[in-house]
A and B are shown apart, each in its own frame.
Chain A
């Protein structure tokens, strides 16, 4: 199984809502990542978890709150987002050390109204 799954596929939320994005992998990878991708732009790294501990936070606003409850799951909790946060949110996983491959999920298309 070389698949990273993400739910939901699409999410529309208001600026006062609280929602969560979920990511799951069963490849035994111990590093998991969140990226944000705007249209026609490259993915931008947001967070890295290594062995379920946050190892990299790329100065992401606190309205994005990551959580890694176990080695297979990664969540991204969203609260009080802005319309400019609308984007494709990608989850990825890899072995640790990162090695040669990050496996990406299909992403969640988020729209903030």
Chain B
């Protein structure tokens, strides 16, 4: 499984766009990039997944450059409720019952 590196913490303000970058230099051809969000004392929640270029859903966008050695999760117009830990995971999630190894995550704090 590819190792990921993320900033330990980030701060921002309500209404701003937040971009969290994840480094995964040894990503493999079959690997996908997935982001989870976790609030205190709750289980992680899937946010978005991509393989290359850009993916957008109702919650976030994921930007993946051509070399796929990094990815950026973009949260538009954040609110206080976006304060959480965000995990970037890289792996071949389409193999059978695969492991998911969580990295250290990014603790995002949103201020009023």
Contacts and interface: CB of A to CB of B under 8 A. Distances in A.
A45 B87 CA distance: 14
Nearest to A41: B104
A106 B104 CA distance: 20
Contact of A105 (B43, B93, B96, B102): B43
A49 B98 CA distance: 10
What secondary structure prevails in chain B residues at the interface with A? loop
Contact of B41 (A48, A88, A98): A88
Contacts of A99: 93-94
A50 B87 CA distance: 24
A98 B97 contact: yes
Contact of A106 (B43, B93, B102, B103): B43
Interface stretch (B10-18, B20-28, B44-52, B71-79): B44-52
A14 interface: no
Contact of B101 (A31, A45, A55): A45
A4 interface: yes
Q: Which 10 A-B pairs rank lowest in CB-CB distance, beginning with the nearest?
A: A104-B43, A50-B97, A42-B102, A31-B97, A100-B49, A101-B46, A98-B98, A98-B93, A97-B94, A90-B43
A34 to B, nearest CB: 12
Interface residues of A, number: 30
B34 interface: yes
A27 B42 CA distance: 19
A97 B43 contact: no
Interface string B80-102: 00000001000001111111111
Contacts of B32: 100
Nearest to B32: A100
A74 interface: no
B46 A97 contact: no
Contacts of B105: 42
